[in-house]
A and B are shown apart, each in its own frame.
Chain A
């Protein structure tokens, strides 16, 4: 049941452009006699597409200098966890919903969920002055973005740029510190460039490069397959 709710939420969040439906009883199909619509309704207009792909991200992580208490077998131990400012790497799935406003302008909403591999944490027992114990730290990355972009066709290829904004959250933990979760997050503003090629009138394959405008070492590359509701997004 929970899984169904999650799927419904993801589809809803990623599909704001699902067409609405107004109740109106049409009196006639003849121009000038129609009450509910006008000539040309549905002949052109906004287009809709979805992209699903894999992304590789490099995410800057803030420095950590934190005392944590770990309870194990009824005994509580205190540790001092330290990590400098470093970058983590994530492999993520990315779902994009593209709403074409005009031939060249579009809006996009996007969800990203990935597995994060964070840099090692230095874990020092506080009570006993011993050597630091380094270990691999892993976690999750979540991001939801909104983007506005421009694109243009050159033969079978579509090139474009976009500006994306939204929150991103990373959480990670270390096996040596059970029950301790580290979390970092904040807004992200990215500049992106992308290229896609038509495989057929409904399918594309694409690659997108992105870099944060806040941090130069915050970059990503996404490879995706796109499904387009209208042939060639209305025209190419």
Chain B
């Protein structure tokens, strides 16, 4: 049971996010971590059986005492095949969920997004997460993840 979805238990279970911890009630986030404005971000490979494309797992923590707007739709993705060629990738979002979403103060969330492009085998994927915190000035922040590795 995810106790943090039960409001009554949230405070007792210590569900709030501790800035810089890169973890939530379910455990430490895997992958590369960085901080953008108010948002602590972890980026890892999240490939899942049944999900077509390359899946990136995001861990997101709001380190501020105010709400922030997280925009995963702003993330740009590029795949690199085994020959070293770059292939543009597009997020799979059939229901239009990749829009700016508010995140409570000192709260966290997780997301897994599948990126698709040409059918070529992708060896690694790079994402530019520089614009996911809408309250800070735009700057590129590329993080690369090898497929099959966390």
Residues of A within 8 A of B (CB): 15, 17-19, 21, 27-33, 38-40, 42-44, 46-48, 103, 201-202, 227-232, 234-236
Contact = CB atoms under 8 A, between A and B. Distances in A.
B105 A235 contact: yes
Interface in B65-113: 65-67, 70, 72, 91-95, 97-98, 101-107, 109-113
A29 B112 contact: yes
A232 B107 CA distance: 10
A143 B103 CA distance: 37
A30 B4 contact: no
B67 A17 contact: no
Contact of B10 (A44, A201, A229, A235): A229
Interface of B: 1, 4-8, 10-11, 16, 46, 48, 50-51, 55, 64-67, 70, 72, 91-95, 97-98, 101-107, 109-114
B98 A31 contact: yes
A202 B66 CA distance: 14
A182 to B, nearest CB: 39
B103 A32 contact: no
A30 B53 CA distance: 11
A176 B12 CA distance: 50
A94 B108 CA distance: 33
Contacts of A202: 11, 16
A29 B5 CA distance: 16
B103 A15 contact: no
A43 B101 contact: yes
A29 B44 CA distance: 14
A94 B64 CA distance: 32
A48 B66 contact: no
Given A227-B11, A234-B104, 20 more contacts: A27-B50, A28-B50, A29-B110, A30-B51, A31-B92, A31-B111, A31-B112, A38-B97, A39-B111, A40-B111, A43-B104, A43-B107, A43-B109, A202-B11, A230-B105, A231-B65, A231-B105, A232-B106, A236-B65, A236-B105
Contacts of B105: 201, 230-232, 234-236
Given A28-B51, A40-B97, A15 B8 contact: yes
Contacts of B72: 39
25 contacts: A19-B8, A28-B50, A28-B51, A29-B46, A30-B46, A30-B114, A31-B97, A31-B112, A31-B114, A40-B70, A40-B97, A40-B102, A42-B4, A43-B70, A43-B102, A44-B101, A47-B7, A48-B8, A48-B10, A202-B11, A202-B16, A229-B7, A231-B107, A232-B66, A232-B105
